[in-house]
Copies of this chain bind each other. A is one copy, B any other.
């Protein structure tokens, strides 16, 4: 038998030297190495940007979409949309565990969601059974490989699969919030009524304790009411995340003019860097979870206002992020109800 690279580089076909995610083509030979596992795929959850692109190019024709998806996977050995560059995740059951992974708390037959992107996951699809157009989901017959470093979550028995998947999609955010936020701090969450935003408000509230303060930012009166009902925030402010002076002004109103300790950006649009940086105190933390964040706008923006803040790139993974997130969903009936209403079909 054979041990592959922990990160799967042994499967990179071209170009050499890069990791599977950056590769044009990887090997989808389904004979596993000792430190890989084989998964019987049930469905691919295609990333929303990628799914939309495919849908548009194919004029929403399911058969054309099937052909296009099969072609991408056939060419690249993985489901990475060549236009958007993005992937998605998969759910399936363990079919085979490499001998080196025998100690894991996982056995053949267990149902898991892969939490690494499809952009680096070797896939072989026999047949596409159906495409669920409204939830970006592709039901297939096929197999996938997870590398030794590949993260995953066992799907829980006590909640619906789509509910768990919706929460796991943003698992990095509440887990990082738990790590970053300390007792008695004042925390601002931008995009507080969104999926990751709600989880962050909930976690921040737990962390700051009795004397801390969680400020949720939303952009409309209806969202303010919605957020108010959760009870997660001590204060709610209303502002457009692309308007830093307004955000600062509103924050100052509820803090009595004091700068905050931590700002968490959970917004899904560009040009919100300054709104996140501006209200934070010297040596405070600015945590960008939003994928629309621009590195240079953040780096030059903080310099431009002479602010020595610690700016963190929201890593999609953080230790135990899946457990932390599912725990939050279990713990809070409010989150569970909202997520069920929003993400269950």
Which residues of A pack against B, CB within 8 Å? 5, 7, 9, 17-22, 115-117, 119-120, 149-151, 172, 240, 242-246, 271, 274, 278, 282-283, 288, 291, 293-296, 298-319
Contacts and interface: CB of A to CB of B under 8 A. Distances in A.
A187 to B, nearest CB: 18
Given A18-B244, A244-B19, A274-B19, A315 B303 contact: yes
A204 B291 CA distance: 31
Given A271-B22, A294-B295, A315 B305 contact: no
Contacts of A19: 244-245, 274, 278, 301, 304-305
Contacts of A312: 310-313
22 contacts: A5-B245, A7-B278, A7-B305, A17-B242, A18-B242, A19-B245, A19-B304, A22-B271, A117-B304, A119-B304, A120-B304, A291-B296, A291-B299, A293-B295, A295-B295, A299-B316, A302-B317, A306-B317, A307-B315, A308-B319, A311-B315, A313-B313
A14 to B, nearest CB: 13
Given A244-B18, A246-B17, A294-B295, A302 B316 contact: yes
A316 B294 CA distance: 14
Contacts of A301: 19, 21
Contacts of A309: 315
Nearest to A116: B304
A145 to B, nearest CB: 14
